[in-house]
């Protein structure tokens, strides 16, 4: 079976690289001209749904690629100089051939990589009562401030005077330094009066992306954070549950 990718660099940088920061292994599902993957961190704090409409899989209705090492998969694609590429999906490997380069990247059998255990339709339908947009420049500023707060992996979100603020600290510990920053000058939805803590790794993950702005959504009653990143045909959805305050 032939798999065709329209833009190899975008596939690696906008789809595979974010996945590699969440999980070493991944199941890539190709269906109806799109490719998606749902993965979670080892501690289950962050789930990433990554999607793009940048692939064709011949006449197959649905194909799963069980990738044993996402970073190595990216390196294999990096040696290809063309942007529009076709690879052959064999029974246990992905094969590429050109006059200059040949390689085979072996895949795992179905069932070896445990699925994330989340339903795609449920993820899409989940509702949030707070929404705000944050520039990646502002997120980079927050990331730089994290070098000052080295003993905590928590970021607290709250609203104040119509703005959204964040605080890096750990309120469950005594005598710990803190750093507070404004994230957005406006928001839609409910107030967040009591600061809600989430894993700072979410900010670390999205601060490296090239999108100009990202959408933050919070379900305050269930303590769920969702960050949407859109860049052309590529969509990333990071989901995290609130940590103990």
pLDDT digits (tens, 9 = 90+) for 133-145: 999 888 888 988 8
In terms of pTM, does the model score above 0.85? yes
| 55 pLDDT tier (thresholds 50, 70, 90) | confident
Query: What's the pLDDT tens digit per position in 169-223?
Result: 999 888 889 999 999 999 999 999 999 999 999 998 888 787 889 999 999 999 9
Does the pLDDT value for residue 58 go beyond 80?
no
Domain over 126-241 is classified CATH 3.40.50.620: no
pLDDT of 126 reads: 87
Query: What's the pLDDT tens digit per position in 73-94?
Result: 999 999 999 999 999 999 999 9
pLDDT of 60 reads: 65
| Angle formed at CA 213 by CA 209 and CA 218, multiple of 5 degrees | 100
Q: What are phi and psi of 175, to 5 degrees?
A: 55, 40
What Rg value do the Cα atoms of the chain yield, rounded?
Answer: 20
pLDDT of 136 reads: 85
The strands making up 154-160's β-sheet, listed across from edge to edge, are: 179-184, 163-168, 154-160, 196-199
Percent of the chain with pLDDT over 70: 99
Give the closest residue to 208 by CA, choosing from 236, 168, 170, 167: 236
Mean pLDDT of the region 16-20:
96
Write out the residue limits of the CATH 3.10.150.10 domain(s) in the chain.
2-123, 126-241
CATH pick for 2-123 out of 3.40.30.10, 3.10.150.10, 3.40.50.300, 3.40.1390.10? 3.10.150.10
pLDDT of 82 reads: 92
Cα(132)–Cα(142) distance, rounded to whole angstroms?
A: 16
Query: What's the pLDDT tens digit per position in 212-242?
Result: 899 999 999 999 999 999 988 899 999 999 9
CB 105 within 8 A of CB 73: yes
Mean of the per-residue pLDDT values of the chain: 91
């Amino acid at each position: 079976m032939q798999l065709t990718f329209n833009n190899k660099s975008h596939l690696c940088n906008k789809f595979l690289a974010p996945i590699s920061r969440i999980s070493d292994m991944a199941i890539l599902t190709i269906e109806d001209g799109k490719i998606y993957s749902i993965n979670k961190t080892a501690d289950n704090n962050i789930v990433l749904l990554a999607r793009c409409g940048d692939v064709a899989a011949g006449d197959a209705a649905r194909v799963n690629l069980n990738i044993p090492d996402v970073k190595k998969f990216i390196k294999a694609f990096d040696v290809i100089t063309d942007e529009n590429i076709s690879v052959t999906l064999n029974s246990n490997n992905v094969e590429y051939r050109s006059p200059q380069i040949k390689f085979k990247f072996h895949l795992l059998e179905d069932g070896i990589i445990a699925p994330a255990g989340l339903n795609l339709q449920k993820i899409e339908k989940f509702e949030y009562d707070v929404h705000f947009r944050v520039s990646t420049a502002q997120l980079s500023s927050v990331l730089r401030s994290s070098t000052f707060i080295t003993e905590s992996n928590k970021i607290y979100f709250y609203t104040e005077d119509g703005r959204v603020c964040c605080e890096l600290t750990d309120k469950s510990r005594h005598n710990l330094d803190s750093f507070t920053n404004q994230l957005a000058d406006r928001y839609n939805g409910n107030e967040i009066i009591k600061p809600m803590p989430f894993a700072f790794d979410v900010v670390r993950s999205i601060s490296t992306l090239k999108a100009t702005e990202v959408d933050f959504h919070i379900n305050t009653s269930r303590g769920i954070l969702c960050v949407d990143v859109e860049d052309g045909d590529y969509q990333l959805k990071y989901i995290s549950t609130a940590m103990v305050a």
